[in-house]
Chains A and B, each alone.
Chain A
């Protein structure tokens, strides 16, 4: 027993020493946590795990991915905004979802657009509409016609309320008057796949990254990519612009930010390390292998993009709040 007590005391003492020294050392002196505001397995999560694995080599400390899913990301962003701005807890912002959470008064978000310091953007992922391979909807036209013929019957999944996918459904309803979808809010891409495969949902609005491998394997069919240019991950799929809906443009970006008030050298260090990791050919190859297009935006450029997205999202949130059936 005595030796056990001794070792317990020893462990506690060394822990105290480690904590005491942390303040004096150069950032980072311990593990950096990288928060993902969605459950594990989605495309933000995959991208985070790939970049973290490479970044920790440049960082000299472990970088671990922490999933804080729920409420379309709000659980995670609330946590991020509340954390100590010391650079040891940073996390993903998923634009425009982060913006819509701030803009929706019902959410009572305890953070605003100024709560985060954007560090670096990693991915830009266009929206896509997909169905099961044996679905009767062969094209976007089939889907829109069906939604006009029998409004509010086609069970259409988002990846969360006021996500970019939710807004994209509203954009399509606006661009194709008379078409009404029955919107079902699921909690992410993995759940969408499960429910579509199980026949509980008819159509999914999602992003290219989450579903590209299954489109290529023929397991599911993509009807349209919500972009102005074809995606290199599914070049056979037409864009919404080609199909005559140039206003239905939707994407989600994933970038890394920290709580406001982080010391400038810490932000600079993180931006530097993460930029190196994201420019690593291994990172780009692995992301592209899982259908994610890398788009690096650092510092002021990412900050500007963040503010612009926030302004644009204001209009869509208004639509979402005034739509009768939700």
Chain B
């Protein structure tokens, strides 16, 4: 009962004109940050922290939180329109979102993403307000071995279900893992696959690689087609049709569940929930072959998961003081600079602040929906631009984005190189999603494996004696076996 009273007074504060204005400004900035591919949510939030120094702590935090989830939505726009993910969590949205745009359903894709994000964010906020603290404690049981097993399950799911061939998908996963090992070893600190080239010590940046594989490769593929029809996105079809609603509804709820559940575990990152949600929809679908060809569930599920994750990740932060992503760590910096220490005692010492911030999450989600639905039409108009102009614009945008990451021309070359590689993979019909996931999860997978083995003094039994970890490992094996059977030649399956 107590938390309901607190929440109501939180709403009263969050709906005051000043705080509304902060939340609105945050959503606008955040969306812009999400749209720019070089500027991820964490860098964007960090850069904008000084903007908030003039505000009171509550206002500052409301604005920064709004920037954070605004950025999560902004990344979708470029994924759908030009096949360039604005930030890592929107990678999977490219697969079906851009196909929808090519079919003239770009407005619908953005519309369902906005609606899904809204529902996911809202439900996660409600859950945050009601059951945050006990869940967060429980999620901490998730130690390095479980972490390792979960990452492995993610890789198996994507490998097993991503493409038409299991061998090709596994090949791409391993390639992604190999690329992720370039640079300084995260545990012992020895350089690997760097060949003394200083630029390789930090590894290959995820953003330039992904922009190349998706954005640049897309331009190359499109450019070789003699005539390209101009995509017509009518403003009238922003809202999904009855059939699309039916398909998306379940996806949105499952995406919410996945996003919220994984958001409670510190360190998962925003990208795993989106991949998991996508794969789950593909697995459950009666027509999995539509995925990759513009299936609306393929946009609704990951976009919902993405926003539910962003809100749920606030739970370990607000209740335990553990930042679960780089962006939230930046937010934590803002709390501390403003004289607040996140953790269990913040709820007791400053309930006014905590509950106002939580209430502002609800308000922010509404603002994002109101802000984005009308804008969708505007964004979709970009698709009316003839390809020969659009391609140049996208190229400029990608080059500036890659360069702005750390003002390094090396990143631009990485992007162009992976653009050519991505073009080759598309021609050979090799799936890109496993490669991207391998690249992104590689370092966390390696670290959790080695930390687990340090915990057990080198005994591999640590992976089999912890029930949750064992369950996840069995699930990983099962996924691979099922995928192998499904994709095996007919005579083998009958034998």
Which residues from chain A sit less than 8 Å from chain B, CB to CB?
Answer: 1, 4, 8, 39-41, 45-46, 49-50, 53, 56, 62, 64-65, 67-68, 70-72, 74-75, 78-79, 82, 101, 104, 106-108, 110, 152, 155, 161, 182-187, 190-191, 193-195, 197-201, 213-214, 217, 219, 286, 289-290, 325
Contacts and interface: CB of A to CB of B under 8 A. Distances in A.
Contacts of B141: 198-199
Contact of B330 (A40, A78, A104, A185): A40
B321 interface: yes
Interface in B375-389: 385, 389
A182 B49 CA distance: 40
Contacts of B460: none
Contacts of A40: 42, 323, 326, 329-330, 332-333
B185 interface: yes
Interface of B: 42, 46-47, 49-50, 53, 137, 140-144, 183-191, 198, 201-202, 266-267, 320-323, 326, 329-330, 332-333, 336-337, 339, 341, 343-345, 385, 389, 393, 396, 443, 447, 451, 454-455, 457
A107 B455 contact: no
B275 to A, nearest CB: 22
Contacts of B198: 78, 82, 110
12 contacts: A40-B42, A40-B323, A53-B49, A64-B46, A107-B188, A110-B201, A161-B188, A182-B454, A186-B451, A193-B321, A194-B266, A199-B140
Nearest to B139: A198
B46 to A, nearest CB: 6
A67 B187 contact: no
B391 to A, nearest CB: 13
A46 B333 contact: yes
A236 to B, nearest CB: 18
A75 B194 CA distance: 13
B397 to A, nearest CB: 9
Given A40-B330, A185-B187, A199-B140, 14 more contacts: A49-B49, A53-B50, A71-B189, A72-B189, A106-B190, A107-B190, A185-B454, A190-B329, A193-B321, A195-B144, A197-B140, A199-B143, A201-B455, A213-B341
Contacts of B53: 53
A104 B330 CA distance: 32
A107 B343 CA distance: 36
B326 A78 contact: no
Contacts of A101: 189
A219 B344 contact: yes
Contacts of A74: 184, 189
Interface centre among A50, A62, A161, A194 (most CB of B within 10 A): A194
A82 B42 CA distance: 24
Contact of B333 (A4, A45, A197, A198): A45
Contacts of B455: 155, 182, 184, 200-201
Given A1-B385, A49-B333, A214-B343, A184 B184 contact: no
A184 B451 contact: yes
A219 B345 CA distance: 10
Contacts of A70: 184, 186, 443
Nearest to A42: B329
Contacts of B326: 39-40, 67
Given A194-B322, A198-B142, A75 B187 contact: no
A147 B101 CA distance: 63
Contacts of B345: 217
A289 B337 CA distance: 10
Nearest to B191: A108
B188 A71 contact: yes
Nearest to B141: A198
A56 B185 CA distance: 34
Contacts of B189: 71-72, 74, 101, 104, 106-107, 161
Given A194-B266, A200-B144, A213-B343, A79 B447 contact: no
Nearest to B327: A40
A53 B329 contact: no
B451 A50 contact: no
Contacts of A53: 49-50, 53, 337
B140 A71 contact: no
A37 B329 CA distance: 14
B329 A39 contact: yes
A291 to B, nearest CB: 10
A101 to B, nearest CB: 7
Contact of A71 (B186, B267, B389): B186
Contact of B188 (A41, A78, A106, A186): A106
Given A108-B190, A217-B345, A49 B143 contact: no
B50 A71 contact: no
B339 A286 contact: yes
B143 A182 contact: no
A294 B456 CA distance: 38
A68 B339 CA distance: 25
A74 B144 CA distance: 22
Contacts of A186: 451
Nearest to A41: B329
A78 B443 CA distance: 18
B336 A197 contact: no
B339 A289 contact: yes
A152 B184 contact: no
A104 B93 CA distance: 44
Contacts of A184: 451, 454-455
Contacts of A56: 50
A14 B47 CA distance: 21
A292 to B, nearest CB: 11
A74 B203 CA distance: 13
Contacts of B454: 182-185
B323 A190 contact: yes
Nearest to B340: A289
A185 B202 CA distance: 20
In the A-B complex, list the 7 residue pairs whose CB atoms are closest, starting with the nearest.
A40-B329, A200-B143, A198-B140, A71-B189, A41-B329, A49-B333, A184-B454
